Amino acid sequence: MSSTPYNEKKASDFTGLDNMSTSSATSGRNPPTTANNGLRPTLPHGQVRGRIFTPMLVYSMVVAGMSAASFGYENSVISPLVALPSFVDRYQGVDQAQGGLVFSTKNQNLLISLPLVGTILGACLAAPLQNALGRKWALMVCYAFSLPAVFLELFAPNLGAFIGGRLWNGLSYGAALAIGPLMLADLVPVQIRGFSVSSANFLTILASLIATITVYRTEKIRGDNSYKIPLAIQCAIPAVLLFSTIWIPESPVHLVNKGRMVDARRVLRRLRAFSDEEVDQELALIKQVEDERRVWNAEVRFTDIFAKAQRARTIFIGGLFSLNQISGIILSTTYATLFLTDLGVAAPFTLTVIAATTQLIGTLTAPFAVEKLGRRPLAMYGMCSLIVIDFIAGGLAFGHGAQNAKAIAALSFIFNWVWTSSFYALSLLLPSEASTPRLRNPTMSYAIAWGQTTAVITAFAVPRLTNKDSANLGAKTYLIFGGCMVLITLWSYISLPETKNRTAAEIDELYESGIPKRHWAGHVCQTSMKSQSRVEQEHEMEMEIELEKAPGAAAVMV
């Protein structure tokens, strides 16, 4: 391979890549890609060539991982806000049915569930937006679009305007939720794909923790500042995201897709700590994948994700993100402060901070659990634990007294940690990892849209199940979620694939083979065997060249 410095490469240097692969894409139900979701030249069995991280890669991972920060903050700040007397007094007043400064069930639904409709619409817009602008500029448009929305929330003159601001902002971060994980998967090598996507959850939950701590600190402030300060901090988030995203590179996959080979190589050179030869190899693999996609289907339609060959795959990948909403997590996150207040425990705002902290701890353990245990074992351990917690907490709700309330609160904190480190981490990872490459954009949009649809339904239903002016089930609602988790666990045992250290080509091959998902981990793919043979051949050729160059090699060979 040529060792020409990357900044001396010209477009003509890459024309030879055009002939690399066209015939391989004309057979099979999925294009038999030889690259992976991270599009990194890899050795078999997850081996890594040299160092992985560069300063630009680390910076880009952090910035792309922050794409869900607006969602993390706003989704968590609303729970303690709606429990603040000053906020209730400003936007509703005394509720005669409950006899105090408490939002009615109707207004709780409007404040919490209705704005989530915006996230559904945003997720649907994500695919065409990034196809037209690329991932980087699509994210920047999302952040810019969010700025007027958060200021509308801050200065809303009435409840309708505040809800409108939340709906508007949901449109923005709904799109960002679908784009961010794909951007991250494009930038990182496959060996750290699971780690990086799971680590991004840390930044989302960190934003949630900041939101709850802020309201905890302002709760005792008299007047409107008790809720305006948290909303003012929210205004800074899209501005910070917009500025920081300016400096990250565009997705190399998007650049190759647009024919900008020189720019794509320049991006890879900044992101990779590899030699020029390895960067050229990765670029060749990206080019090959894009060529195969064009041959396979020049124009991808959103409905392709429901084609017969993809239907079961799409339903489970999208369903997993959706079903994490009906595990019971909403009681200790979105409705945490209200739920803890109804339990009658002391200092509900303080306990809300603890609940957010346990989630943050979960995001720290998730990346290691995902890579160490694998996807299926982590899912089974995590889901079974959630079932146990749901039924114990629901059973305790039939008793009375402070001890039962404290026990339920403690179980909800444990629930947060288990859910974040297992179910939630996997539901974000699999849409970007297990979907076939040519359908990654619509699959991720589908997963986010379906997930937020479930969130709307759950957020609407929970107050009607728990509140005293409705069904008044309180913590007994955990029993309903426990029943849901039993069904989810059974479905996951049948349908959840083990994708650890698998390339996109191997995942496609395994889906097409019909092998039960529980047997994926030990299966050796034909793609992997061919890759192993190719690496061995390259190694033998390199050894022969070195021997020929060595002093006296000719005499030895004779």
Q: How far apart are CA 244 and CA 264, in angstroms?
A: 21
State the Cα–Cα distance between residues 201 and 427, nearest whole angstrom.
11
CATH superfamily of 58-248+300-505: MFS general substrate transporter like domains (1.20.1250.20)
**Which stretch, 148-162, 272-286, 316-330, has highest mean pLDDT?**
148-162
Residue ranges per domain, the chain?
Answer: 58-248+300-505, 252-296, 528-553
Give the separation between CA 257 and CA 299, rounded to whole angstroms.
13
Model confidence at 31, pLDDT cuts 50, 70, 90, reads: very low
| pTM summary value | 0.71
Mean pLDDT to the nearest integer, 371-393? 94
Indicate the pLDDT class of residue 487, thresholds 50, 70 and 90.
Answer: very high
Instruction: Give the per-residue pLDDT at 281.
Output: 80
Q: For the packed helices 135-154 and 116-133, what is the interaxial angle rounded to 10 degrees? A: 150
Out of 3-17, 165-179, 298-312, least confident range: 3-17
Q: Using alpha carbons, select from 334, 314, 323 the residue that is nearest to residue 444.
A: 314
| β-bridge partners, 252 | none
Cα–Cα dist 92/105, whole Å:
12
Q: How far apart, in whole angstroms, are the C-alpha atoms of residue 476 and residue 392? A: 10
User: Which residue's entry shows tokens 């250290």?
Assistant: 501
pLDDT at 345 over 90: no
Would you state the pLDDT for residue 542?
Answer: 54
Q: How many CB atoms lie within 10 A of CB 491?
A: 16
C-beta of residue 230 within 8 angstroms of C-beta of residue 211: yes
Which of 338, 396, 336 minimizes the C-alpha distance to 98?
338
Write out pLDDT tens, residues 436-457.
Answer: 777 877 888 888 888 888 888 8
> Taking 90 as the threshold, does the pLDDT of residue 251 lie above it?
no
Residue with tokens 């784009």: 179
What confidence score (pLDDT) does residue 423 get?
93
pLDDT of residue 17: 46
- What is the rounded average pLDDT of the residues 305-334? 86
What HEC string does 470-510 produce?
A: CCCCHHHHHHHHHHHHHHHHHHHHHHCCCCCCCCHHHHHHH
pLDDT for 11 equals: 44
HEC readout, 444-463: HHHHHHHHHHHHHHHHHHHH
Report the percentage of the chain scoring pLDDT > 70.
Answer: 82
Phi and psi angles of residue 95, each rounded to the nearest 5 degrees, phi first? -90, 115
Q: Of the given ranges (125-134, 181-190, 349-358), which has the lowest mean pLDDT?
A: 181-190
Kindly indicate the confidence band of residue 49, based on its pLDDT and cuts at 50, 70 and 90.
very low
Burial (CB count within 10 angstroms: exposed 0-12, middle 13-18, buried 19+), residue 118: buried
pLDDT at 523 over 70: yes
- Separation of CA 387 from chain center: 23
pLDDT(139) > 90? yes
Sort 540 into a burial class: Cβ within 10 Å, 0-12 / 13-18 / 19+.
exposed
